[in-house]
Copies of this chain bind each other. A is one copy, B any other.
Amino acid sequence: MTDHSLTPPSFEDLEAAAGRIAGHVRRTPVLRDETLDELAGCRLLFKCEHLQRVGAFKYRGATNAVLSLGDAEASRGVVTQSSGNHGAAIALACRQRGISATVVMPRSAPASKRDNVLRYGARIVDCDTDQAARDAVTVEVLRDTGGTLIHPFNDARIIAGQGTATREFLLQLAEANQQIDTVMAPVSGGGLLSGTALAAKSMQPGIRVIGAEPAQAADAYESFRRGERTTNVPIDTICDGLRATIGPLPFALLQQHCDDILLASEAQIIEAMRLVWTHLKQTVEPSSAVPLAVVLANPDAFADRDIGIILSGGNVDLAQLPWQTANTHQDR
Residues of A within 8 A of B (CB): 29, 31, 34-35, 50-51, 53, 55, 112, 119, 274, 277-278, 281-284, 314, 318-319, 321, 323-324, 327, 332
Contacts and interface: CB of A to CB of B under 8 A. Distances in A.
Contact of A281 (B284, B319, B323, B324): B284
Contacts of A284: 281
A281 B278 contact: no
Contacts of A51: 31, 281
A318 B34 contact: no
A275 to B, nearest CB: 10
Contacts of A278: 112, 283, 318
A281 B50 contact: yes
Which of A314, A323, A332 has the most C-beta atoms of chain B within 10 angstroms of its own C-beta?
A314
Contacts of A50: 281
Contacts of A34: 53
Nearest to A279: B55
A327 B323 contact: no
Which of A50, A274, A278 has the most C-beta atoms of chain B within 10 angstroms of its own C-beta?
A278
B314 A318 contact: no
Contact of A274 (B318, B321, B332): B318
A194 to B, nearest CB: 25
A277 B315 CA distance: 10
Contact of A119 (B35, B274, B314, B332): B35
Nearest to A119: B35
A241 to B, nearest CB: 14
B332 A323 contact: no
A319 B314 contact: no
Contacts of A321: 318, 321
